[in-house]
């Protein structure tokens, strides 16, 4: 009996963590190159809607996913243009993107679909053989494809950032843009790249909700998840593995607090709901001893000769 | 000289041009929905300025934006991003409400001053947590303030559905999440017989105070120095950590005060719909936008808040009159923010051009003078 | 010449007045303004009232009944501005559909004695404050919850039930308590687990709550507010029964949504409109319950017996 409880909680945590993972890793890339994007939630919503709508129109889940990636790229382009080329105040432009994405996705939903409906999204994909391993098989290898994608993304991103010249360029652009520039690195191109990829990942994050995990779209489906995703980037100190840890920590505590409520423990639900947020702050505070170095150029537009 | 003045004026108008450009795109969206954009925009303007009540509504909406904007000004000038406006507004509102509920018989002015002070202190405390964690534990403030927003919202839910729920609700059996109406002694006086209240005056006074603080006191100078260059500040002996925390505390104080004023000036009770912005109506986010539109200057934030308040109020009327989905209003708001924020580039570019032009002119002048001799 | 012009002018004006009076008296539609906290397609609270008003408009015709709406008025200050606006534009009835709007109505209603206001869910019409033009409406959610609970208890095999609610106030609280009572009346040993999600729109958390409920053994789920679409999805995916509230939710999962409590607002609105036409502007509380048809339990046959019928047809169940 106890084992099934733990299995249930971890599975829940993994599902909950998936959208955060995509969005956080995407934001990490952008921030490593020096661009802050607070509008992640807006892009997630657009990705979620476009994926959902495409599936209702074409019946193809992969087309839906593709659509979400495209929309995410378009928004990424917009964000890059505003933050990198127009050198806007990044914190504020992000909020603008959020408000715009929230409004546009709700408007399109209203005009194009109208009423709430469900679809048949990505269903759990059992990986042959390993999914039969007792306990671990059920927890980790019976999830749907977008969940696998999110977790595979972490080591992939780690590799790109730490073991490739591209990753080196990205980090250099974020830490010492003047030095990188003098060495011939195209700051603008790198930043556009990371932000567009970040947008694509945010789009996938939204799609993971609307066509995989929840199979529905509604106004404000994400309910602020994008902001938590940005917060998790700081928790993870711009390292993909730590971002994963943060997403899992937050989601696991969330899964546990739901379980606490279901069990009927006599704590007011409001306090259990607070737990993921409190725990995240406490854990981060406790880890304060390690030296955290944010990208020096984060949130600072680049001007040659400044 | 005239050319330069003309260009300066033009620069000030750039955000306005951006705003109008965004509205143009909005017009296309509205037209695509089959609605006459002229009627739509006319109702927007009417909603914001069309009558005494409309103007009052605009100002009432702008007041919390101004308080939050002022708080953001201080935070930004110190180089920190305070995204915790929602939570700090809640703390300010809650504490003021609880105080008023427990001491309803105090004489009016004392009740008002004390509850506003408590709201201010609690808002300061809430932001101070984030500041303290950042300065001494390296906890990024974007993370802590966002988390604290949720904690505050859930805390408010707990209180409103239990300990401070309106006894009338419990009696009637409807259990609406709100408190009792606060004692009338705590009502802020109205300025004219509309919803316009004294809190606006308090906000403007504080805007001036913030200006004085930031530009006319040592503390303010140091806050701005920390915001510009941390290494240089440390080198000159400024306790960076202390000033960072102070910036947060001051920021939260202003925002908390705004929350308290929303309660005793406008609603006279707290209610919620359960979400993070259930009581605040996203004033914590919109205030950030207002601060930016005001160029992060406390005095500039006054017209910026007013304009943003007008936009939001007018947009509601527009939705009513032409029956467009409220989502379109949201999209339009977002577009406006994006365009205005993006237009800063043009301003800075122009300003650089003007500087260069001035330099060239000056050096020509020097050359000419030299040649004359 | 001037005299002739003036004369024609006067005749014109008089005829215009007469005509407009004649048509005005007959063709003045009853105008309703509807203010809601979310949107007309939220599949819950706001939508159910919107649908009711649309139905009345269809039945009465646009010449007799018109309504305009204000969406996303979750900020009470905005709603207050809207209420005041509508009242000053001469609407006959302003519906402020949300329990947070009461305090605004108290302030505004006295300024517009010729406009009628209505709000809910509540049973407060402020007559003790001398206000005469506010109506209230209150669906007795606990009744609907009870019936759902009875049906749920009879269907469940595991005896474990999951409730997913927003915050423990208002209708959500009443519905949940009714549901629990309904279950207990059939099966005193049953286990009813309740989770509160903390907001009205966190679909992801509602979905996970549904998963956790089912992990704990629940084979029946229920809940209120617009985020339950996430939970309904889980019920569909994992094969649980769902009981709904506010609107008929069977369209989302036709094989799993057993019944929904449909709140028939017309039961309150129609007599309200009649009263206003006769000059009575407020003071009455309209309760919507099973007796007066204000609450209707919409049972979805397909979920109840569809599978069984299918099995018989496909030969999976042999009866002869």
Domain end among C231, C255, C279: C255
The reply to whether B124 falls in a domain is yes
What is the mean predicted confidence (pLDDT) over C222-234?
Answer: 91
Domain end among B267, B285, B310: B310
What is the mean predicted confidence (pLDDT) over A209-233?
Answer: 92
DSSP per position, C102-134:
HHHHHHHGGG-TTSEEEEES-----GGGT--SE
The reply to whether C35 falls in a domain is yes
Domain identity same for B264 and B328: no
Structural domain range at position C208: 141-255
**A 27-66 → B contacts, CB under 8 A:** 38, 42
Residue B140 and residue A268: Cβ atoms within 8 Å?
A: no
The reply to whether C145 falls in a domain is yes
pLDDT for position C109: 92
pLDDT > 90: what percent of chain A? Answer: 65
pLDDT in tens, B183-225: 777 788 887 777 788 889 999 999 999 999 999 999 999 999 9
Tokens of A127: 């990986």
Domain identity same for C39 and C181: no
Most confident of B149-158, B314-323, C68-77, C309-318: B149-158
Tell me which chain C residues have a C-beta less than 8 angstroms from the C-beta of B266: 77
Residue B174 and residue C138: Cβ atoms within 8 Å?
A: yes
Domain identity same for B28 and B137: no
pLDDT in tens, A132-184: 777 777 788 888 889 999 999 999 999 999 999 999 999 999 988 888 888 88
Q: Which of C78, C85, C123 sits opposite B174 (nearest CB)?
A: C123
**C 239-278 → A contacts, CB under 8 A:** 251-253
Structural domain range at position B208: 53-310
The reply to whether C146 falls in a domain is yes
| pLDDT at residue C15 tops 60 | no
List the CATH number of the domain containing C287. 3.40.50.2300
The Cα–Cα gap between B293 and C101 comes to: 32
| pLDDT at residue B150 tops 60 | yes
Q: Which of A110, A223, A294 sits opposite B325 (nearest CB)?
A: A110
Domain identity same for C67 and C127: yes
The reply to whether B131 falls in a domain is yes
Interface check for C290 against chain A (CB to CB < 8 A): the answer is no
What is the number of domains present in chain B? 2
pLDDT for position C24: 45
The single-letter DSSP state of residue A38 is T
**A 220-239 → B contacts, CB under 8 A:** 223-224, 227-228, 230-232, 234-235
Mutation test of the interface with chain C: which of A122, A223, A270, choosing the one with the most C Cβ atoms within 10 A? A223
Domain identity same for B220 and B328: no
Tell me which chain B residues have a C-beta less than 8 angstroms from the C-beta of C74: 273, 275, 278, 281
pLDDT for position A45: 97
Instruction: Tell me the three state secondary structure of residue C65.
Output: strand
The reply to whether B338 falls in a domain is yes
Domain identity same for B23 and B96: no
Domain identity same for B164 and B21: no
**B 174-233 → C contacts, CB under 8 A:** 174-178, 181, 195
pLDDT for position B355: 75
Tell me which chain C residues have a C-beta less than 8 angstroms from the C-beta of B168: 124
The reply to whether C235 falls in a domain is yes
Q: Which of C243, B255, C9, C183 is nearest to C17 (CA)?
A: C9
pLDDT for position B163: 87
The reply to whether B43 falls in a domain is no
Residues 6+ away with beta carbon under 8 Å from A225: A19, A20, A23, A41, A44, A205, C204
Domain identity same for C151 and C133: no
Q: Are A34 and A179 in contact (CB under 8 A)?
A: no
Q: What is the set of domains in chain A, with CATH numbers?
A: 2-119+127-289 (1.10.3470)
The reply to whether C10 falls in a domain is no
The reply to whether C85 falls in a domain is yes
pLDDT in tens, A32-57: 999 999 999 999 999 999 999 999 99
CB burial of residue B236 (10 Å; 0-12, 13-18, 19+)? exposed
Domain identity same for C172 and C239: yes
Mutation test of the interface with chain B: which of C76, C139, C173, C287, choosing the one with the most B Cβ atoms within 10 A? C76
What is the mean predicted confidence (pLDDT) over A270-284?
Answer: 94
The reply to whether B352 falls in a domain is yes
List the CATH number of the domain containing B77. 1.10.3470
What is the number of domains present in chain C? 2
The Cα–Cα gap between B92 and B51 comes to: 31
The reply to whether C54 falls in a domain is yes
pLDDT in tens, B84-99: 999 999 999 999 999 9
Domain identity same for C135 and C282: yes
Q: Which of B29, B158, B338 sits opposite A271 (nearest CB)?
A: B158
**C 77-96 → A contacts, CB under 8 A:** none
Instruction: Tell me the three state secondary structure of residue C68.
Output: strand
Domain identity same for C73 and C217: no
State phi, psi for C195 to the nearest 5 degrees: -120, 140
Domain identity same for B271 and B124: yes
The reply to whether C71 falls in a domain is yes
State the pTM of this model.
Answer: 0.89
What string of H, E and C letters represents the secondary structure of A4-22? HHHHHHHHHHHHHHHHHHH
């Amino acid at each position: 009996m106890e084992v099934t409880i733990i299995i249930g909680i971890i599975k829940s945590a993994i599902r909950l963590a998936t959208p955060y993972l995509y969005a956080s890793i995407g934001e990490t890339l952008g921030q490593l190159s020096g661009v802050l994007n607070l509008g992640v939630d807006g892009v997630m919503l657009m990705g979620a809607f476009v994926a959902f709508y495409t599936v209702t129109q074409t019946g193809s889940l992969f087309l839906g996913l593709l659509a979400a990636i495209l929309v995410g790229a378009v928004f990424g382009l917009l964000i890059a243009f505003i933050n990198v080329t127009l050198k806007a105040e990044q914190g504020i432009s992000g909020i603008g993107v959020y408000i715009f994405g929230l409004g546009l996705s709700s408007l399109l939903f209203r005009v194009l679909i109208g009423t709430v409906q469900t679809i048949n999204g990505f269903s759990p994909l059992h990986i042959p053989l390993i999914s039969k391993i007792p306990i671990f098989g059920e927890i980790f290898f019976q999830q749907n494809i977008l969940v696998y994608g999110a977790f595979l993304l972490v080591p992939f991103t780690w590799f790109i950032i730490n073991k490739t010249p591209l990753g080196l360029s990205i980090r250099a652009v974020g830490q010492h843009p003047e030095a990188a520039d003098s060495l011939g690195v195209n700051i603008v191109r790198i930043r556009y790249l990371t932000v567009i990829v970040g947008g694509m990942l945010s789009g996938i994050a939204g799609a993971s909700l609307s066509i995989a995990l929840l199979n529905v779209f509604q106004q404000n489906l994400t309910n602020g998840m994008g902001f938590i995703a940005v917060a998790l980037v700081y928790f993870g100190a711009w390292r993909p593995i730590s971002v994963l840890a943060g997403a899992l920590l937050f989601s696991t505590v969330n899964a546990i607090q739901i379980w606490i409520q279901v069990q009927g423990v006599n704590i007011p639900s409001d306090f259990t709901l607070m737990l993921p947020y409190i725990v995240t702050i406490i854990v981060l505070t406790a880890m304060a001893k390690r030296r955290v170095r944010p990208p020096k150029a984060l949130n600072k537009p680049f001007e040659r000769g400044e | 000289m005239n050319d330069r003045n003309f260009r300066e004026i033009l620069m000030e108008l750039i955000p306005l041009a951006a705003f109008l450009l965004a509205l143009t795109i909005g017009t296309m969206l509205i037209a695509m929905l089959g609605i006459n954009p002229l009627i739509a925009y006319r109702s927007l303007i009417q909603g914001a300025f069309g009558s005494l009540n409309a103007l009052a509504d605009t100002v009432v909406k702008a007041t919390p934006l101004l308080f939050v904007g002022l708080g953001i000004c201080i935070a930004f000038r110190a180089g920190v991003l305070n995204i915790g406006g929602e939570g700090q507004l809640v703390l300010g509102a809650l504490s003021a409400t609880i105080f008023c509920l427990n001491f309803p018989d105090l004489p009016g002015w004392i009740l008002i001053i004390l509850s506003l002070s408590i709201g201010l202190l609690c808002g300061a405390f809430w932001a101070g947590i984030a500041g303290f964690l950042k300065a001494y534990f390296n906890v990024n403030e974007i993370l802590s303030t966002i988390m604290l927003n949720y904690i505050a919202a859930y805390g408010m839910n707990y209180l409103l559905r239990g300990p401070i729920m309106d006894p009338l609700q419990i009696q009637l059996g409807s259990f609406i999440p709100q408190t009792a109406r606060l004692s009338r002694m705590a009502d802020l006086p109205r300025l004219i017989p509309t919803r316009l209240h004294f809190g606006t005056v308090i906000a403007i006074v504080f805007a001036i105070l913030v200006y004085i603080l930031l530009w006319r006191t040592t503390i303010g100078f140091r806050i701005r120095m920390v915001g510009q260059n941390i290494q240089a500040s440390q080198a000159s002996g400024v306790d960076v950590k202390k000033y960072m925390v102070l910036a947060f505390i001051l920021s939260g104080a202003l925002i908390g005060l705004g929350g308290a004023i929303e309660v005793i000036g406008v609603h006279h009770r707290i209610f919620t719909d359960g979400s993070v912005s259930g009581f605040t109506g996203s004033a914590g986010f919109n205030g950030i936008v207002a601060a930016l539109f005001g160029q992060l200057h406390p005095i500039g934030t006054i017209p910026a808040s007013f304009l943003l308040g007008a936009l939001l109020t007018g947009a509601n009327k527009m939705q009513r009159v032409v029956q467009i989905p409220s989502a379109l209003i949201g999209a339009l708001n977002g577009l406006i923010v994006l365009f205005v924020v993006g237009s800063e580039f043009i301003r800075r570019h122009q300003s650089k051009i003007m500087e260069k032009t001035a330099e060239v002119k000056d050096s020509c002048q020097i050359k000419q003078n030299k040649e004359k001799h | 010449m001037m005299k002739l012009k003036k004369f024609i002018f006067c005749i014109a004006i008089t005829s215009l007045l007469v005509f407009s009076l004649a048509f005005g008296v007959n063709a003045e539609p009853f105008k309703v303004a509807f203010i809601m906290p979310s949107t007309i397609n939220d599949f819950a609270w706001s939508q159910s009232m919107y649908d009711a008003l649309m139905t009345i408009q269809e039945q009465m015709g646009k010449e007799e009944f018109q309504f305009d709406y204000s969406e996303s008025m979750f900020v009470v200050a905005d709603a207050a501005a809207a209420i005041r606006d509508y009242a000053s534009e001469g609407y006959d009835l302003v519906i402020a559909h949300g329990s947070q709007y009461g305090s605004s109505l108290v302030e505004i209603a006295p300024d517009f004695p010729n406009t009628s206001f209505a709000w809910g869910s509540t049973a407060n019409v402020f007559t003790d404050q001398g206000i005469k033009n506010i109506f209230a409406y209150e669906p007795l959610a606990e009744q609907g919850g009870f019936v759902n609970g009875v049906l749920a208890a009879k269907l469940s095999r595991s005896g474990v039930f999951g409730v997913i609610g927003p915050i423990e106030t208002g209708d959500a609280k009443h519905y949940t308590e009714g549901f629990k009572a309904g279950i207990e009346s059939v099966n005193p040993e049953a286990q009813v687990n309740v989770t509160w999600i903390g907001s009205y729109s966190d679909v992801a958390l509602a979905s996970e709550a549904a998963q956790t409920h089912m992990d704990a053994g629940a084979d029946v789920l229920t809940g209120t507010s617009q985020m339950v679409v996430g939970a309904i999805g889980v019920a569909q995916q994992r094969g649980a029964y769902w009981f709904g509230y506010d609107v008929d939710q069977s369209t989302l999962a036709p094989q799993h949504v057993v019944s929904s409590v449909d709140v028939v607002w017309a039961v309150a609105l129609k007599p309200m409109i009649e009263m206003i036409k006769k000059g009575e502007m407020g003071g009455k509380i309209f309760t919507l319950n099973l007796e007066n048809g204000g609450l209707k339990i919409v049972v979805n046959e397909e979920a109840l017996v569809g599978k069984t019928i299918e099995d018989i047809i496909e030969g999976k169940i042999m009866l002869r």
